[in-house]
Amino acid sequence: MGNREQAEFDRDIAVRRTDEKTYAADLAAGWVVGGGVNGGYLLAVTANALQAHLPNHPDPIVLSAFYAGASTPGPAEIRVETKRDNGSLAIATAELWQGEELRITTTATYADLDCLHAESNGFERVTATEPELPPLEECLSSTTAPEQVKELVPMLDRYELCVPKEQFVWGGAKPSGEGVTARSAEAVVTGWFRHHDREPDPLSLLQVLDALPPVTFRLDRPGWAPTLELTCHIRHKPAPGWLKVTHFSRNLSGGMFEEDCEVWDSEGKLVAQARQLARLPRA
Amino acid sequence: MGNREQAEFDRDIAVRRTDEKTYAADLAAGWVVGGGVNGGYLLAVTANALQAHLPNHPDPIVLSAFYAGASTPGPAEIRVETKRDNGSLAIATAELWQGEELRITTTATYADLDCLHAESNGFERVTATEPELPPLEECLSSTTAPEQVKELVPMLDRYELCVPKEQFVWGGAKPSGEGVTARSAEAVVTGWFRHHDREPDPLSLLQVLDALPPVTFRLDRPGWAPTLELTCHIRHKPAPGWLKVTHFSRNLSGGMFEEDCEVWDSEGKLVAQARQLARLPRA
């Protein structure tokens, strides 16, 4: 794996300070998915501006993003404001604008993960369980997605996602009940994940938390599931290597669904969690 | 049950417009819990200002609140700003201030729950399961909490919470392993809940979502668990009657824990969900 300076992901999320509270970005066409730019990528761009703005607080701890409208590739401006900084934690807001259009409004808490961990005296009680996945070589890799799917979802070329064969999340196969496992009755998408040329870190995890197709793809409801709000918790610095990522929903109802995401690192640690509220795709 | 105008909860969350974007509130001493004012109550006060500010959007759909510092009883100001309004959905921010101190910064999406539901064509797939609770008369009611506990937590007099006997969340009993059920190994607090003189609605659910003691009370870690961020999803208008509320955490680690809350209404519907990231109380 190359260093961050050479990685495609880091080039694509780069920001440039234009005044005291404003950062310029160029949203990369490579992160398009259907009619917009991937929400997790946009969050990583936003977080890059926040990180530049809060040099004393190296890590995103919790971010909440409200999506006001779909973004398009091209110039964007991120307007950052520190709301509170008590030395160990900072709360800041960031708005991502394109021209006169607000795309996302984000609030975040930044801190130093190492310090938070050191203060915990090692107390640990994790009852969440790592997703069970077949070995990598038995999974379907996103690199094998048909060209017509990649044209619609250029983002598929930015990383490698390997899902169990029955999950049908690309490849042109209809995401019907055929081959669906018992667990999929609970609306689950799970896979191995890595960026091509970069190891994971707290910043890249923000993209990973919104990279997989929505669970509605498993329920015969493919199509755009617009996110209303997405909250990300970054809990540990991930170890190098493949990540396991899982999305699941327990409450699809009233035109909306909550989608929980977990990211597990190669050492079996639950390094990040997210929950979003999204609108159900139309039937 | 009386009407909303007569209810204590509604008097306590009342706001008064003071200029185009500012609302005044008087934080009630009755909602104190330990060293601060209950975060769910503060969210309901904030949402009351948001609701007054967005007359065309009757219901909170998703709110995210970042807690900057503990509030105290007395005057507060809520500064509201609409970020986007497309007619069917509005995104707005609200900051709750006391004097020169920011207490909470909130972002929210408002809409009309009935309209969102009507557009869904009745699609429903709920795999979450209602918490199993003993009958009300077999539970420990918060009305029986000892006076010294109520002095520390005056909020206990604002509602009735009835928990299974083994949960030891008040009453002076040490929240030790004694009597703890197998499920509590997963860090769970569950109970029946109602406000004394008012039926639930989307606004009051915001308080319910942060009313129970933190799950760390079950793990021999009583004490203050400061919330960094709390996200609430309001999914259905609740039916009248007792609510079932459950808190659980699957990832206590690195000095922090996520706490998920579910609220089920008397008709067995999952009406609201919340997730917060909180810091572990010190041992």
Q: What is the pLDDT of residues A14-53, one digit of tens each?
A: 999 999 999 999 999 999 998 899 999 999 999 999 999 9
Query: What are the tens digits of pLDDT across the range A125-142?
Result: 999 999 999 999 999 999
What CA–CA distances, in Å, run from A55 to A48, A52, A93?
Answer: 11, 6, 15
* Number of residues assigned to chain A: 283
Residue A244's nearest CA partner among A101, A135, A100, A87 is A135
* Separation between Cα atoms, residue A106 and residue A92, nearest integer Å: 8
Residue B152 has which token pair?
Answer: 């520390």
Q: How many CB pairs under 8 A join A and B?
A: 171
> pLDDT category, A168, cuts 50, 70, 90?
low
Return the CATH number of the domain spanning residue range A4-120+133-279.
2.40.160.210
**Is the Cβ pair B231, A231 closer than 8 Å?**
yes
What residue in B sits closest to A253 (Cα-Cα)? Answer: B124
Average pLDDT for chain B: 90
Convert B2-28 to b/e letters by CB count within 10 Å (16 or more is b). Answer: eeeeebbbbebbebeeeeeebbebbbb
**Is the Cβ pair B61, A228 closer than 8 Å?**
yes
Q: What pLDDT is attached to residue A183?
A: 39
Which residues from A are below 8 Å from B123, CB to CB? Answer: 221, 252-253, 255, 280, 283
What pTM did the predictor assign? 0.94
* Number of residues assigned to chain B: 283
Whether ipTM exceeds 0.90? yes
Residue A259: is its pLDDT beyond 90?
A: yes
A19 contacts: CB under 8 Å, gap ≥ 6: none
Strands (E), chain B: 15-19, 22-27, 32-33, 36-37, 59-67, 74-85, 90-98, 101-111, 125-126, 140-141, 159-163, 188-195, 227-234, 243-248, 251-253, 256-264, 270-279
Query: What are the tens digits of pLDDT across the range A53-69?
Result: 999 999 999 999 999 99
**Is the Cβ pair B91, A69 closer than 8 Å?**
no
A187 touches chain B (CB under 8 A): yes
**Is the Cβ pair B66, A89 closer than 8 Å?**
no
B70 touches chain A (CB under 8 A): no
Residue with tokens 């066409």: A29
Could you give the angle at the alpha carbon of B129 between the alpha carbons of A169 and A214, nearest 5°? 20
Query: What are the tens digits of pLDDT across the range B87-112?
Result: 999 999 999 999 999 999 999 999 99
C-alpha atoms less than 13 angstroms from C-alpha of B219 in its C-beta half-sphere: 25
Which residues from B are below 8 Å from A92, CB to CB? Answer: none
Instruction: Name the CATH superfamily housing domain B4-126+134-279.
Output: Acyl-CoA thioesterase, double hotdog domain (2.40.160.210)
Percentage above 70 pLDDT, chain A: 91
Helix (H/G/I), strand (E/B), else coil: A276:
strand
Residue A56 has which token pair?
Answer: 């004393």
Residue B86: is its pLDDT beyond 50?
A: yes
Residue A187, sorted as left (phi over 0), alpha (psi -120 to 50) or beta, turns out to be left
- Identity at B158, one-letter amino acid code: R
Give one DSSP letter per residue of A67-85, joined into a string.
E-S---SEEEEEEEEEEEE
